Amino acid sequence: MKVIAFKKLSKDDQNLINEAEKIIQNAYDPYSQFYVSCAILTTKGNIYKGVNINTCAYGGICAERAALSSMVSCGEYGIKKIVIISKSDHFKVKIHSGPCGICRQMLWEFAELYKTNFEILVSDSDKKKVMISTIEELHPKGFGPRLCFGKYRRYLK
């Protein structure tokens, strides 16, 4: 796990973060005003995006799971890279926390299914610094398909 300057990222990685940032204003969280956007680059080269949605009951969906849902809804399952950016109405987001536990588990499912240790890039709100890690770093020894007896062949496209 490392933190580097946004400007030192490859142009492709910068563009992927910019894609996530483009839709962050669509996030729905009128209660905490903490907005998150995510973009997933698939093994087929497509990009799927999602934003967080939080309700008055403080239940909702994270941006990572929204992007995953979009990806799976389109029949894709292989992840090459994921980027996340957060913003707030109250402060500059400088902490690089990465996905929540539920999102890590869901991402792990597809990492293990496709045997990919994909990168996760988490940008601060000003796009000055980016934390780069892998799913295995964020979710070591995760519970996944290898421990279950599901019928996975149809998803290995």
Whole-number pLDDT of residue 141? 86
**Whether pLDDT at 152 is above 80:** no
Whether residue 156 has pLDDT greater than 80:
no
Catalytic residue (one of 19, 64, 109, 112): 64
pLDDT tens, 114-151?
899 999 999 999 999 999 999 999 999 888 877 776 77
Give the pLDDT of residue 58. Answer: 80
Calculate the alpha carbon distances from 73 to 19, 29, 77, 95, 106 in Å.
19, 24, 9, 31, 15
Residue 86 confidence (pLDDT)? 94
Looking at per-residue confidence, does 154 or 128 come out higher? 128
Written as six digits, the tokens of 49 are 């995006």
Query: Does the 2-155 domain belong in CATH 3.40.50.1860?
Result: no
64 is catalytic: yes
**Are 68 and 106 within 8 A, CB to CB?**
yes
Q: Which amino acid is at 99?
A: P
CA-based radius of gyration for the chain: 15
- Please write the tens of the pLDDT for every residue from 44-80: 999 999 999 999 988 899 999 999 999 999 999 999 9
Task: Name the residue with tokens 């890590």.
Answer: 104
Q: Would you call 24 helix, strand, or coil by DSSP? A: helix
Alpha helix ranges (H) inside the chain: 11-22, 63-73, 101-114, 135-138
pLDDT for res 143: 84
pLDDT score recorded for residue 94:
77
